[in-house]
Structure 1
Amino acid sequence: MNEKIALITGANSGMGLATTIEIANTGATVIMLCRNKQRGETALKTAKQQSGSENIELMICDLGSLESIRTFVSLFKEKYNKLDILINNAGVMSLKRELTSDGFEMQLGINHLGHFLLTNLLLEHLKNAKEARIINVSSGAHKIGKIDLQDPFLTKRYGLMKGYAQSKLANILFTKELSKKLKNTNITVNALHPGAVATNIGVNRKTGFGKNLIKLLKPFFLSPEEGASTAVYLATSDEVKDTTGEYFYKKKIALVSKIAEDNELSKTLWTWSEKQVFLTPKSDAKL
């Protein structure tokens, strides 16, 4: 792993930070992708202390902003000529309907569309690696999810779990479709359910609302380290180096909902997503 470069989104806390530390422990160079510079710098210090590695770098990107994602990718490409591991870990839950800077419903905008654009823009660098892996952190909540492309941003009837489950289902459909598009390449793509983990995912990004609830629930949930174990396994284990298009739970392939297996839906979602993030053949590297 010494020559490998890993990029982890949402790396400043919870599973993202735990994943950073574990991957850094393997000797890989790790880029922590964080939205907030101050929190990111604190997490970077923690990661270096706990891993004993100096090969960890902080880079800033807001997955709720298409402009921020494009700016980050440009900076990343100036500095690195390849990417071996991409862990799309960042996620949000929103009690009330909120919008990203581009007008997307927050959960679908960050959990799916932000990672969709980021991944596509980094494909060229992933192909430059000898063997590359993309890991998408989804959730068992996908099983109650539906994709409503008539009202994807839930303008008519919003619900926290409705929006969250939709975004996590989108993660799996994206994984399935991308694995097909990358067939016969050096890149594998897999999704996972980390289990019920006590993280800051439900804490409001602006106000911090929800922190006290997380503290109360912590004793009943997995630790971030336990939650990160499957992502680390998918990123580093030789056992899964040729596995692609699957959904994992506790380091084993797990069943997904019937909707998550819908090939036509995955194609439709892909086309819709391309339009939303303005992914065009002229300006971006295509599959």
Structure 2
Amino acid sequence: MTGRTVLVTGGTSGIGKATAVGLATLGAHVAITGRNPKHLEDAVREIRTAGGGQVEGFLADLSSQSEVRRLAGEVLASLPRLEVLVNNVGGYWNTRHVSADGLERTFALNYLAPFLLTNLLLKRLKQSAPARVVTVASNVQSMGRIDFENLQGERDYSGARAYNQSKFADVLFSHELARRLQGSPVTANALHPGVVSTAFGAEDPGTIQRVFIPIVRPLMKTPAQGAATSIHVASAPDLEHVTGCYFSNSKAKKSAKQSYDTATALRLWQVSADLVGLDTAH
């Protein structure tokens, strides 16, 4: 990865930080995002120490569209090249929270943020090609569905259902992006990092986080193990032309059958473009 620039969203802890460390160790110029200034500063220092090389931090709360847009502007001003975008940021909330834009927070952060940021940085990725868009999803995508009539969970909210929907949306987005980029030197792939021991869901935990996770934590992957697939998809030379795939344990596998439904993916793309004020011609 020497000479290549990578942006990892949500890079101050957990899988994101481990991904940044791994890519920095491979020689990449790494940039990360975080929403806490102290955590961001500490993570940049830690990644620089562990991986060596150039590491930058960008402060942004990606649940807010204005922050995503500001971040994209800062990235474009600071990074003349961008070979890899790792859409890693994500969260889980057991109760319904609303973002600065009045949208359900899980959907806003886990899905709309990668959708908007990727579109805003796509021109730079194309200019820097060969380039890759890597989106961290989850195997719960197989349980997700897009409820277009209740996209923001205003009726009968469930934290698990909102999370499953957001991760299914990430896979639909990745497949649709790959179709739109077909024939270009920019690839788009999604992945499942595994069940990883992090502080995931700690802000507003559900029963699974409070009761079940502490019991199974010894069996869960470490953040470094969870980051292995992200690092592989972002850097493996033999994946330079591989696009539209879903990876688990660093191997391509089939995502949920309904994630290949082009009509649903297209409808989601158009709805998303409207929600973020993006020209659907993108």
TM-score, L = length of structure 2: 0.94
Is the contact between residue 199 and residue 214 of structure 1 (CA under 8 Å) also seen in structure 2?
no
2:256 corresponds in structure 1 to: 257
What is the Cα deviation at residue 104 of structure 1?
1.1
Residue 108 of structure 1 aligns to which amino acid in structure 2? Answer: F
More off after superposition, 73-82 vs 113-122 = 73-82
SS of equivalent to 2:146: coil
2:166 corresponds in structure 1 to: 167
Is 1:150 aligned to residue 149 of structure 2? yes
1:237 corresponds in structure 2 to: 236
What is the Cα deviation at residue 19 of structure 1?
0.4
How far does the alpha carbon of each residue in 1:240-285 deviate from its partner, in whole angstroms, 9 at most, with x for none? 111100101111111211221111000000000000000137xxxx
How far does the alpha carbon of each residue in 1:121-164 deviate from its partner, in whole angstroms, 9 at most, with x for none? 00010011131000000000011111011110111111111000
How far does the alpha carbon of each residue in 1:169-223 deviate from its partner, in whole angstroms, 9 at most, with x for none? 0000000100011111110000001110112221218xxxx69986665312101
Aligned residues: 279
Distance between the aligned counterparts of 2:216 and 2:40, measured in 1?
24
Residue 226 of structure 2 aligns to which amino acid in structure 1? Answer: G
Distance between the aligned counterparts of 1:213 and 1:77, measured in 2?
42
2:32 corresponds in structure 1 to: 32
Is the contact between residue 19 and residue 231 of structure 2 (CA under 8 Å) also seen in structure 1?
yes
SS of equivalent to 1:169: helix
Is the contact between residue 61 and residue 72 of structure 1 (CA under 8 Å) also seen in structure 2?
yes
Distance between the aligned counterparts of 2:188 and 2:42, measured in 1?
30
Query: Post-superposition, which runs of at least 4 consecutive aligned residues in structure 1 deviate over 4 A?
Result: 210-217
Distance between the aligned counterparts of 1:149 and 1:56, measured in 2?
40
Percent of pairs with identical residues: 32
Is the contact between residue 81 and residue 128 of structure 1 (CA under 8 Å) also seen in structure 2?
no
Is 1:50 aligned to residue 50 of structure 2? yes
CA RMSD of aligned residues (A): 1.8
Is 1:202 aligned to residue 221 of structure 2? no
Distance between the aligned counterparts of 2:172 and 2:67, measured in 1?
24
2:17 corresponds in structure 1 to: 17
2:192 corresponds in structure 1 to: 193
CA gap 1:47/1:183 in 2 versus in 1, 3 angstroms:
same
Is the contact between residue 28 and residue 53 of structure 2 (CA under 8 Å) also seen in structure 1?
no
Is the contact between residue 27 and residue 53 of structure 2 (CA under 8 Å) also seen in structure 1?
no
Residue 19 of structure 1 aligns to which amino acid in structure 2? Answer: T
2:91 corresponds in structure 1 to: 92
Once the two structures are superposed, the pairs formed by residues 53-92 of structure 1 within 5 Å of their partners are: 53-92=52-91
What is the Cα deviation at residue 95 of structure 1?
0.9
How far does the alpha carbon of each residue in 1:220-249 deviate from its partner, in whole angstroms, 9 at most, with x for none? 210111111011001110121111001011
Distance between the aligned counterparts of 2:87 and 2:159, measured in 1?
21
Distance between the aligned counterparts of 1:213 and 1:199, measured in 2?
14
2:140 corresponds in structure 1 to: 141
Once the two structures are superposed, the pairs formed by residues 209-228 of structure 1 within 5 Å of their partners are: 217-228=216-227
User: Where does structure 2 lack aligned partners over 5 or more consecutive residues?
Assistant: none
TM-score, L = length of structure 1: 0.93
Residue 196 of structure 2 aligns to which amino acid in structure 1? Answer: V
What is the Cα deviation at residue 82 of structure 1?
2.1
Distance between the aligned counterparts of 1:79 and 1:109, measured in 2?
25
Is the contact between residue 82 and residue 127 of structure 1 (CA under 8 Å) also seen in structure 2?
no
